[in-house]
Amino acid sequence: MARKAKTQQDEIFTLRLQRSAPDLWPMLEALYGSHPDYTGFCDRLLTALHSAWAARPADLRRLDLHRDLEPDWFQRPDRAGYVFYIDRFAGSLRNVLDKLDYLQELGITYVHLMPCLKPRPGDSDGGYSVMDYRAINPDLGTMEDLEQVASALRDRGMNLCIDLVLNHTAKEHAWAEAARAGDPAYQDYYLMFDSPELPNRFEETLVEVFPDNAPGNFTHDPSTDKWVWTTFNDHQWDLNWANPQVFLEVTEIMLFLANRGVDVLRLDAVAFMWKRMGTRCQSEPEVHMLLQALRACCRIACPAVLHLEEAIVAPAEMLPYLGRGRHDGKEGNLAYHNSLMVQFWNALATRDTRMMTHVLRTHFPATLTNATYATYIRCHDDIGWAITDEDAGVFGISGPAHRAWLADFYEGQAPGSFARGRLFQENPLTGDKRISGSFAALAGLEKAVNEGDGPAAETAVQRILLGHALIASFGGIPLIYMGDELAMLNDHSYLSVPEHAHDSRWVHRPRMDWALAAAREGDSPSARCFQGLRHILAHRRAVAELHGGVPTVVLVPPVPGLFAVARRGPARTVLCLFNFTDGWLHVPEGWLRAEGMQQLYDELSEAQVTLHDGGLSLPPQGRVWLV
C-alpha cells in the first residue's frame, strides 16, 4: 500500500511538472542557458523540487489539491488581511495563538507576520536584513512555533503570510561570511568589485533609497578590499541573481518555508533583483523571468502557496508584477496597489477625486489573470508620493510642486492640514519627501484629540471608515495594518530608542494597545472604528461581486469630489460610491439609473435608499455599495 501511495504521489509530481514546465524551463534557458554548468543546475533544481514535494506533509498536499481545484480561493470576498510585527502585536509567536479570537472577530482570514526570519543583530532594517532564512528570530520563537501558528490558522480557515527577502541578505549571512573568508564561489553569490570604477559608473543612473542614513549603492568591505553592492543599507548585501546557484539556493529556501505551512510568500524588494549598466537597475525584464520561474517552482512542489510581489512603483511598472504580456497569469498572484493608496491620500487632502479617477481609470485594467491586488491604506513603510509628472500635467499642475505640497500637508505644515505625520528621507537632489504616520494621525484624529475638538474627531473617524470601505470593495485582498482598526495614534516614543530614532517609520509601528482593544464595544473614536471595520468586512463577505475576478470599472463621476467604482458581476452590478469632500453630495438619479441601479439598496447599511430631489444625498465622507 505504501509503495502504491508513493507511486501515486510521484505521478502527481510528474503531472504538475509537465503543467509548469513551459513556464519554467524557457525562463531559465533565457537567464542561465549560457552558463557553463547550466545542465547540472537544471538537474539539481529538479532534484530539489522533487525532494521538497516528497517531504511535504500530507495535510499540505491535500491543501495543494484543494486549491488546484478552486484556483480562485484567494480572490473570494471572504479574504481580508491583517499585518503586524509579532513582538509589537503579541510579544512572541506562541502568544499570537492567544490573539486569533480577536482577529477572527474582526473578520480577518489572512495574517501577515512581519519579518520573522532570523535577522542580523542590532539594526536590521526592521527585520529585512536576514542572516538565516531557515530559522526564526530567537526573540520571537522557533520554527516549530511558526508551524504551530500556521496549523492553528489553517484550522480557522486563515492564511499565513511571511516575508522572504529576495534582493539581499544580511552581511552576517553564512554565504556572506564565506565570501568574506575568500571563497570565490560564495563571492559570486554577491555583486563584489575589485575597484570602485564599475560601481561609480553604475551610480550615474542609480537612485538612492535611503539617502539620509545610507547614501549611495555600494559599500567598501575592508576584509576583502572589495566594493559590495548594497542598495538599501551597508549591512544588506545584494545577491547576484545572474548566478544560477543563487536561484537554486533561494528556491530551496522557498520550498522549505512552504513545507512549514506558509500560504503566502511576500517576496520583498523584487524590483531590484537584476542589474544592468546605464539603468536604474529596477524592474529589468530579467526580474519578471526570475519571478515567473520561482512561481513555477511553487506550482510544481507546493501549489497551495501564493506569491505576493512587493514592488512599490508607478502603475506601468507595477502591473507586470501581476503578469503582463508573456508573463500574463504566470507571475505574482498578489501585488500591492500602491496607486490606490496614494490616490486615497491625495483625494482626501485636496477633496478632489479627478486625479484619482484619471489614474485608476487610465492605468489599470478592469480584470487580471490569476491575480489580484493587495489593497491597503497604510502599511509598515513610509508613503512615497508616486504621482507622475504626466498625470499631474493632465490637470495643469506641476508634479514636483504637488508632491511637495502633499508631503507638507501630511506633515501638518500646509495651511488647513488636519494631518500629523513626520518627514521621512528627504532627498534634496530630487526634492523627494516621504511621510510616516499612522492612519489615524494622517486622517486627522491625533490633531483633533490633542485640541479637544470633538467634531473634528468624528470627521477623522469617518475618513478612516471611508478608506476601509474603499479597499474592501475596490477588488483584491484588503490589508489592515495593526492598530488601524482601533485608530491608534502615532507613537513618538521611538525617538528615545537609539536604533529607531533615525527612522521616523517607527512612529507608526506602535505596540498594540490591548487596553484600547478591550474597550472596542464602547463609543470612543477607537471603538467606532473597530465596529465600523468589522461591519464593513462582514458585509464584504456577503457580496459575491466583490470577488477579485469580477471587473472593477472606475467611472467618471457626475459630481466633483465623488469617487465611483462599478463591480460588474454576471448577475448584477454593485456601484460603490465614496464622498471625499467635507460637504454633502447630490448624485443625480439619472446617472444612477444609467449605471444599472433600479431599486436602490445599500449593501453596507442593509437598507433601501430613498432618493431626495431627484438624486442620492451622500453625507461628508459617506460611502455606499449600491445594488
The confidence score (pLDDT) of residue 211 equals 78
Cell readout for 78 is 471572504
> Angle 237-243-245 (CA atoms, 0-180°, nearest 5)?
95
Predicted confidence (pLDDT) per residue in 475-490, tens digit: 999 999 999 999 999 9
In the chain the first and final C-alpha atoms are separated, in Å, by: 55
Predicted confidence (pLDDT) per residue in 355-385, tens digit: 999 999 999 999 999 999 999 999 999 999 9
Predicted confidence (pLDDT) per residue in 566-611, tens digit: 999 999 999 999 999 999 999 999 999 999 898 899 999 999 999 9
CA distances from 422 to 442, 467, 484 (A): 10, 20, 17
The confidence score (pLDDT) of residue 16 equals 97
Domain region containing 580: 552-626
- Catalytic residue of the set 268, 309, 331, 391: 268
Q: Rounded mean pLDDT of 235-256?
A: 98
Task: Evaluate whether 299 touches 292 at the Cβ level (below 8 Å).
Answer: no
* For residue 188, pLDDT beyond 60: yes
* Secondary structure (3-state) at 620: coil
Task: Evaluate whether 299 touches 255 at the Cβ level (below 8 Å).
Answer: no
Residue 544 lies in a domain: no
**In the annotation, is 523 catalytic?**
no
Q: Which of the listed residues 238, 266, 294 is the one where a domain comes to its end? A: 238
Q: Rounded mean pLDDT of 414-420?
A: 97
Residue with the three cell numbers 537544471: 42
Q: Rounded mean pLDDT of 555-559?
A: 96
Q: How far apart are CA 626 and CA 597, in angstroms?
A: 7
CA distances from 156 to 101, 195, 599 (A): 10, 55, 37
Predicted confidence (pLDDT) per residue in 290-334, tens digit: 999 999 999 999 999 999 999 888 888 889 999 999 999 999 999
* For residue 99, pLDDT beyond 80: yes
Task: Evaluate whether 545 touches 536 at the Cβ level (below 8 Å).
Answer: no
The confidence score (pLDDT) of residue 255 equals 98
Task: Evaluate whether 300 touches 327 at the Cβ level (below 8 Å).
Answer: no
Q: Which of 82, 111, 4, 154 is nearest to 530 (CA)?
A: 82
The confidence score (pLDDT) of residue 313 equals 82
CA distances from 110 to 81, 174, 329 (A): 4, 32, 22
Residue with the three cell numbers 479570537: 101
- Catalytic residue of the set 310, 391, 411, 432: 310
Residue 230 lies in a domain: yes
Residue 563 lies in a domain: yes
- Which residues have a Cβ under 8 Å from the Cβ of 451 and sit 6 or more positions away? none
How many beta carbons lie within 10 A of that of residue 2, not counting itself?
A: 6
DSSP letter assigned to residue 584: -
In terms of Cβ atoms closer than 10 Å to its own Cβ (0-12, 13-18, 19+), residue 92 is middle
Q: Which of the listed residues 238, 263, 285 is the one where a domain comes to its end? A: 238
Q: How far apart are CA 6 and CA 1, in angstroms?
A: 9
- Which residues have a Cβ under 8 Å from the Cβ of 424 and sit 6 or more positions away? 382, 433, 434, 435, 436, 503, 504, 505
The confidence score (pLDDT) of residue 3 equals 63
β partners of residue 119: 130
Q: Which of 563, 461, 438 is nearest to 508 (CA)?
A: 438
Residue 603 lies in a domain: yes
Task: Evaluate whether 469 touches 488 at the Cβ level (below 8 Å).
Answer: no
The confidence score (pLDDT) of residue 5 equals 62
Average pLDDT, the chain: 96
How many beta carbons lie within 10 A of that of residue 255, not counting itself?
A: 23
Residue 595 lies in a domain: yes
Task: Evaluate whether 484 touches 379 at the Cβ level (below 8 Å).
Answer: no
In terms of Cβ atoms closer than 10 Å to its own Cβ (0-12, 13-18, 19+), residue 504 is buried
Residue 322 lies in a domain: no
E strand or H helix at 445: helix 445-450
Percentage, residues of the chain above pLDDT 90:
92
Q: Which of the listed residues 238, 255, 278 is the one where a domain comes to its end? A: 238
Number of structural domains found in the chain: 2
Residue with the three cell numbers 492612519: 439
Predicted confidence (pLDDT) per residue in 38-66, tens digit: 999 999 999 999 999 999 999 999 999 99
| CA 434 to chain CA centroid, nearest Å | 18
CATH number at residue 585: 2.60.40.1180
| CA 39 to chain CA centroid, nearest Å | 36
Max Cα–Cα distance, the chain, nearest Å: 79
The confidence score (pLDDT) of residue 207 equals 87
Q: 10-16: long-range contacts at Cβ-Cβ below 8 A with a sequence spacing of 24 or more?
A: 13/49, 13/50, 13/53, 13/300, 13/301, 16/299, 16/300, 16/301, 16/303
CATH number at residue 183: 3.90.400.10
Q: How far apart are CA 394 and CA 341, in angstroms?
A: 20
Residue 135 lies in a domain: no
Predicted confidence (pLDDT) per residue in 109-125, tens digit: 999 999 999 999 988 98
The confidence score (pLDDT) of residue 4 equals 63
Residue 580 lies in a domain: yes
Predicted confidence (pLDDT) per residue in 500-525, tens digit: 998 999 999 999 999 999 999 999 99
The confidence score (pLDDT) of residue 208 equals 87
Q: Which of 183, 187, 307 is nearest to 237 (CA)?
A: 187
Percentage, residues of the chain above pLDDT 70:
99
* For residue 547, pLDDT beyond 90: yes
Q: Which of 252, 274, 43, 258 is nearest to 147 (CA)?
A: 258
Helix runs in 33-131, H state only = 38-55, 58-69, 86-89, 93-96, 100-106
The confidence score (pLDDT) of residue 322 equals 92
- Which residues have a Cβ under 8 Å from the Cβ of 543 and sit 6 or more positions away? 77, 473, 574, 603, 625, 627
**In the annotation, is 78 catalytic?**
no
Predicted confidence (pLDDT) per residue in 127-170, tens digit: 999 999 999 999 999 999 999 999 999 999 999 999 999 999 99
